[in-house]
Structure 1
Amino acid sequence: MVRTMDVVPYDMKWAFLYEQEKSILIELLSKIILDIQHFGSTSVVGLSAKPIIDIMILVKDINDVDRYNLSMEKVGYIAKGENGIPNRRYFVKLKSDYSEKHTHHIHIYEKGNQKAEEELMFRDYLQIDKDAFNEYQALKLELSKRFYTNPTAYTDGKSDCVNRIMNKAKLYYGK
């Protein structure tokens, strides 16, 4: 099955889906969670997005996470290890219809991880800079059509825009 880049208009239920999953994750990982947040495009009110809920969890020691792979599997997650980002643990939940459609992505980092801080800064900046928001949204919509069945090209196509917005966010937040 091929993953498709289905970018859809913002849906208010995404916040509810995050809260629902957050409860499950807190119960499951309560011994190691320091913080848990909704991030990514579904967390930015009004932004079109692939309907996948991205959740960031911060922990004290990233190696503690590996002990929970089986527990995460029992609630529907597939452990992907670092999955290309050093010092991260990544989990994917698929729709129950075996379609290979992702519903949730869990990104777990140690508290203080620069990548985690930048992800949250990017989310927050999109909410305050309407020009950045509009530029990012227009690009996502265009790339989702051009690279509908190519997730890597879709992601790569966003990188220059993301870097430009990230640089503006760093200036804004004094980082």
Structure 2
Amino acid sequence: MSDSNKPRPPDTQTVELVGGPEAIDVELQSYDPQWPVIYAEHRQRIVDALTDVAVTIEHIGSTSVDGLAAKPIIDIVVMVPDITAEEDYLDPLLAAGYVLRVREPAHRLVRTPARDVHVHLLEHGDPAVDEYLLLRDHLRSNADDRALYESTKRSLLTKRWADMNDYADAKTTVILAIKARARAAHDA
């Protein structure tokens, strides 16, 4: 484990997409009650791999919302103390069978070789985590926005995408609107 008294190395300043862009050919599936089970299995796998690291782990993304159709990819966020201390978390996760897909400022992504589980690594306190949880929790409790989000995804998946990141970017406008309503409801 890294020494908290030594200076932190600078984080990466580039985006490394291991393996390059990937076309997607994924359809939405109806909500599957196995998704939380798969999350729990991977949560335990991550906990077992990161025994020496203080982490917080959350199920995020569409598969974490009961009743929401989703691409069958389990998204997990793992908050680590220091994103630059890759030796603390990345090496153990690779040893546990995950593969590195993305290394970018403040974020790493490992996934299963089958590409059906994505583990997002962020630092404790990163505002992106709050954004993931805001969206997840709102979609869990708001049927209208859950239906809007699902219909948006269904519409977007009728198009051909050169890269999964392009598909994700296309959802941004709707996601921002849903999160604005979630904030307003939370602040009311």
With the length of structure 1 as denominator, give the TM-score of the two structures: 0.86
1:148: Cα distance to partner?
5.7
String of CA shifts for 1:97-122, please: whole Å, max 9, x gaps.
xxxxx111111111111111100110
Residue identity matched to 2:113: L
Structure 1 70/61 Cα, relative in aligned 2: closer, same or farther at 3 Å? Answer: closer
The answer on whether the counterparts of 1:5 and 1:147 sit within 8 Å (CA) in structure 2 is no
Candidates 91, 103, 108, aligned match of 2:116 = 103
* 1:32 corresponding residue in structure 2: 53
Identity %: 28
Among 93, 98, 107, the alignment partner of 1:88 is: 107
**Equivalent residues in 2 for 1:18-167 (5 A)?**
18-83=39-104, 86-95=105-114, 102-147=115-160, 150-167=163-180
State the partner residue of 1:168: 181
Which amino acid letter does the alignment assign opposite residue 106 of structure 2?
N
Q: What CA distance in whole angstroms lies between the structure 1 residues aligned with 2:136 and 2:125?
A: 17
Give 5+ residue unaligned stretches, structure 1. Answer: 96-101
More deviation in 30-39 or 135-144? 30-39
Q: Do 1:5 and 1:150's aligned partners in 2 also have CA atoms closer than 8 Å? A: no
Contact 2:23 2:161 in 1 (8 A): no
Task: Give the Å deviation of 1:58.
Answer: 1.3
Going from structure 1 to structure 2, the CA distance change for 1:69 and 1:34 (only over 3 Å counts) comes to closer
Bigger CA radius of gyration:
2
Distance (Å, rounded) in 1 between the aligned partners of 2:80 and 2:165: 28
Partner amino acid, structure 1, of 2:94: E
TM-score, normalised to structure 2's length?
0.80
Q: Which amino acid aligns with 1:33?
A: A
Measure the CA separation in 2 of the matches of 1:14 and 1:82: 26
Match of 2:19 in 1: none
- Which residue type is aligned with residue 29 of structure 2? V
**Counterpart secondary structure, 1:33:** coil
Give the AA of the match of 1:162.
I
| Matched residue, 1:99 | none
In 2 relative to 1, CA 169–82 (structure 1 residues): closer, same or farther, beyond 3 Å?
farther
| Aligned equivalents of 1:174, 1:119: Cα separation in 2 | 17
Moved over 4 A (4+): none
* Structure 2: segments with no counterpart, 5+ residues: 1-21
Q: 1:104 to 1:157 in 2, by over 3 A?
A: same
State the distance in 2 between where 1:25 and 1:64 align.
Answer: 17
